[in-house]
Structure 1
Amino acid sequence: MGPDYSDPNTNAATFAYNPDNSDGAAAVGLLAWRNAYEVPAEMNEATVAATLEQDADARAAMYQDIQRQYQAEAPSCRCSSASNRSACATASRTGGAAAPFRRSCIVR
């Protein structure tokens, strides 16, 4: 089984592309716009350029650069996955041993 998003532009266009952060843009299809993240012009331009690049190696390098820019510039919220049991399913429901339910995110 491979990754959920086989093309890196799926993530770049989601997180590192928002050419118009104004309310009037109404760019509801862009996650960065919905979160009011004003993506720097250079990152917007790099995302568009990487989308158009035909050489696979050059394109991969471009997306790596976008990722580094995003990690250095973008606001983020760190979440940790807890391994504490909050409930336990019965063996009959899971078809075997009891399985713990886990909390998906704890903000610290």
Structure 2
Amino acid sequence: MTYVIAEPCVDVMDRACVEECPVDCIYEGGRALYIHPDECVDCGACEPVCPVEAIFYEDDLPEQWLPYLTDNADFFDELGSPGGAAKVGPTGYDAPLVKSLPPMATGD
């Protein structure tokens, strides 16, 4: 089991979760953040600091955002398991679902 970042993060990417993650398993795409399913230790530190409430434990993922479970995993198909997001940095690409979304309102 792992945590998943869903649609509220798209085009927001606040990064508070990245700062809070003790194992550096939250990677930056072009429009969203992604939690590596094999590197996440299920500590839950990221969930309460997300200002847009986009992070869910896999079993608690709302039905409307279930596709993000697969999309988060798909993000790592090419990247693999590098063992830490800091050494990778921003990737500039996104998983298929996020890539297909229209730009999201940022509230600015």
| TM-score where L is the length of structure 1 | 0.32
| TM-score where L is the length of structure 2 | 0.32
Structure number with greater Rg is 1
More helix by share: 1
Greater RCO between the two (CA within 8 Å, min separation 6)? 2
